[in-house]
Amino acid sequence: MKDLFGNTLAELRSIAARLDLPPFAARQIADWLYAKGAADFAGMTNLPRAARERLAAEYTIGRAAPARRAESRDGTLKYLFPAGENGFVETAVIPDGERRTLCLSTQVGCRRACRFCATGRQGFHGQLGAGAILNQYASCPERERITNIVFMGMGEPLDNPDATLAALEVFTADWGYAMSPTRLTVSTVGIRPALGRLIAESRCHIALSVHSPFPEERRRLVPAEAAHPMAAAISELREARIGGQRRVMIEYIPFADYNDSPRHAAALARLLRGLRCRVNLIPFNAIPGCDLAPTDPARMAAFQAELERRGFVATIRKSKGADIAAACGLLSTAKTTPGAGGK
């Protein structure tokens, strides 16, 4: 049995053709799967009964409820979602006033092994299909209140570009969830050529994890720098002339006495020259066994001021959910046994 959930309209059309369903069926199935959130085929009442039976013989809907939930003192929620035979992924819901940001995962673990990231420590355990990515939204109990979606959970989205792009299509298409692409942000270390596809095939915001303006130093933080230099990613973003409603965000974690000096801020400003972007400074959430430490608030503010003096909009991300390990870089299912207690 295969999952129907996560298929794009084009994929549903070929499924409909293969199963000899009427031509209008694909659009109706999409409507049931996404806008209407159907739980079974029997409920797809405007489809001929024979069509429903043929679908049910080969497919399941493929939605799955979270297996576990944790709530932080600050209101941040963390869900554990099943991801097929590859295990589980974590998804966070981060409240901020009226906003509710859903932070979703694209892989079980990650192969990029960034020095400061708990998911990187876990290693790579499998890809999520588009259905498993979308399910983190569709089956999220807070779904109705979600205002923004960031692909900043476990995994490197551009190491899984087909599923990431298909999920973005379903989120934004009129036959899908019909969301504005300005509500969606994909964060990446800058994998190419998949970055080019993200630029061309979607209209969502793009966040690039930079963390140091110096290639050698960045390589010690983000090993992907060796094969995927940030300079090439930044050139590609610059040449794409991303503007209007669409935004580029540069992510930077200032570590104490490592990459938090005024010299770093100046070099970062030089590196980003000519790129329309904002810089988001992320407070480091320390992880066990990592020799790096967060910079102090005064150094953080000075780094921000230096960037602003050089003409950039720089913001400091509020860190939330640390007490339930739902904050940036803390998501990991390494110790997760299905159905077991909390971690």
Active site residue 225: no
- Cα atoms in the 13 Å half-sphere on the side-chain side of 14: 4
User: Which of these, 254, 251, 310, lies nearest to 278 by C-alpha position?
Assistant: 251
Q: Which residues contact 43 (CB under 8 A, 6 or more apart)?
A: 32
Q: Distance of CA 39 to CAs 33, 56, 65, 195, Å?
A: 8, 12, 11, 35
CB 128 within 8 A of CB 107: yes
Residues 6 or more apart in contact with residue 84 via CB below 8 angstroms:
126, 128, 129, 132
185 counts as binding ligand SAH under rule CB under 6 A? no
User: Judged by CB, which is closer to ligand SAH: 27, or 299?
Assistant: 299
Q: Is 257 helix (H, G, I), strand (E, B) or coil?
A: coil
Is 328 an annotated catalytic residue? Answer: yes
Nearer to ligand SAH, 251 or 306 (CB): 251
**Range 303-332, binding ligand SAH (CB under 6 A):** 328-329
Task: Pick the closer one to ligand SAH by CB: 209 or 212.
Answer: 209
* 209 touches ligand SAH (CB under 6 A): yes
7 and 167 in contact (C-beta within 8 Å)? no
Query: Could you write out the DSSP letters of every residue in 271-284?
Result: HTTT---EEEE---
Stretch 51-80 residues interacting with ligand SAH (CB under 6 A) = none
Helix (H) or strand (E) holding 309: helix 297-309
Q: Which of 58, 71, 90, 117 is catalytic?
A: 90
Smallest gap from residue 244 Cβ to ligand SAH (A): 23
Window 90 to 119, contacts with ligand SAH (CB under 6 A): 116-117
The correct pick among 265, 279, 282, 326 for binding ligand SAH (CB under 6 A) is 282
Contacting residue, 91, 160, 187, 336, with ligand SAH by CB under 6 A: 187
By the rule CB under 6 A, 225 interacts with ligand SAH: no
Among 64, 77, 287, 326, interactor with ligand SAH by CB under 6 A: 287
- Which amino acids are annotated catalytic? 90, 328
Q: Residues in the site for ligand SAH, rule: CB under 6 A?
A: 116-117, 152, 156, 187-189, 209, 251, 253, 282, 284-285, 287, 328-329
